Structure 1
């Protein structure tokens, strides 16, 4: 049974208890903790760390505070202020007769606000907003609302923070405290539970490898095509696959496929740091490239393997790369030279991904393009092709990165057709704190 801690403001107690009751059929044991002031989330986190498997926070603020204090020792997430919760709040304000174009809004990600405004046909540009980001968790959100109200710019405040709501009420400023819906809480519980289960059973994922064998031009044609030479190569590959504890299949001349599991692959590669010795194969004077992919399905694993193989072929003889879940690239593995494997363990990266409505692996892939491939300039169309997203999502990422200071428009690309010029952005993640591990 999974032990899940929940840390939230006592104002949300009723909603969370209802959500917990509705997921009673799941194999979960809950440890509920309530606070009056958000700063208490750090102490409550330290208390739960040794009692639970995962922690869910009632919102981003307690999560950010606990994370900033380095208090979180188990997998954790928070209930997001999603589009459903925002729509419900706006409908409530509309019923109260509030002019939605004269509302100040805090905490909610800009991408969520844009999407909801588009659905409700509200002019996003007229809204006064202050989205929450981890570096700004201690900003004065009360003053943001008060100044806009006092100078007549707004007539109402929508806040997601209980402490801000209490301050605004004490100043007699019309306001509404937006609380996540029961559905949003249930979704967060299910997602955290599923993420834990995925990590728990990741070892049984499929791992597929592709080995490309090329004979150099210096080998005579008669030798290349001799049956004996081919058998010798095949035998060495079978021995190599055996070291990887994998089955081997020849797809066509010079291309071989092997299959195993994530857990076995991780074990025989010493945590994805090395591959079994390639010397016997290199002694045959052949050029060898290896690409490996993992995933929950064979199609995901094979797609990752093909991408990794392309990377290996570009990198040179004897290199091997791994793509996990068709998203995270590791390598090159093997050889005797130093190499850097970028581990995308970054609070900033995770926060940025969440606020722009994009998953962390996709944002990590963008960081990889910047850091490892030295690619800095993108249009929305180019970025969508690179990340496998819609152009709308790519534009949302670029807009968010620009707002946060990680991208700047540097010009426009004139298209040959009648369409609008495409804006070109320069990406700069130099200040982003992403852990890198150097392996020698």
Structure 2
């Protein structure tokens, strides 16, 4: 299955990337263009389901830092290194023959310039440098270059910010962009892909859960509980039940307080303990070790670092009965889906291990009938908020199952 990467960059960066994106194996890129790095914050809030977010530079990554922290997936940015500096300086030297001291350069880490110049024996010559600070207005960065050029001190500006490049062009200041090499961009995307695979691997690791009660829990309730974390369950003894799931599913249940709904399903007090581990044996032992710490209608977790976390739930339940987000309001209006159902669908998207899913996956998570699930999906598909991207045939007989993906922001 392909790794899906959301790429945030300027129009110029994305146009260049499209020229060689075909060289990326088992990778699918979704493009999001910003006019200014500041725009990255809002773009991140509206990306569609994917496996990792990739930024074309450190500045948009820094601006979007708070929004990134709320994502259930990793993020990565293209780092500016000595290779980028060397490529840019060589291009200037061979194409324009401009001495280093007649250059003005803005970049996140000025030490990179010093390292390159020392390596090639030009430590006596130095360009005019501006260390980019996220608190700067982009106009300030442009004025740094413009004032040096208009004062006759420099002959060329080199900028790391695409918006500054266009501003300087408007000011009639000779300017070029910092040149990200093709190999550097491909390496950055491969690093992002590795982060996504690592996150998938971690979330797919086994998690063991125990529910302890003082009387028998019905099969119907156990099935509903298991469905919310996509688990199998077995009774360990009369009042102790074991659930086998993945760390990703359990983590979402804990972080979004899905387990609070479990307490509502069971009419008598229960205790919940989870264990993570590198093996089933270790996860089982961690769950057993967590159980003595649990009080009635609460949960504790011992992870694979032997850290005891809890008690859960510690926040209000995340299923929203109303929404003020304009985009979600529009989706609810178009599809006639309730905010509560939309919230549950978004939680499903966050917890599901893949961008793609089947009606059965959603049915198990929502704990509703197949007909209800298909009705919800039809509304989303009819209005362009989900789409069929393939089908699978898990049995030799019967109709193949449609494979879906969401086409609206769920993070």
* TM-score for the superposition, normalised by structure 2: 0.48
Higher relative contact order (CA 8 A, sep 6+): 2
* TM-score for the superposition, normalised by structure 1: 0.45
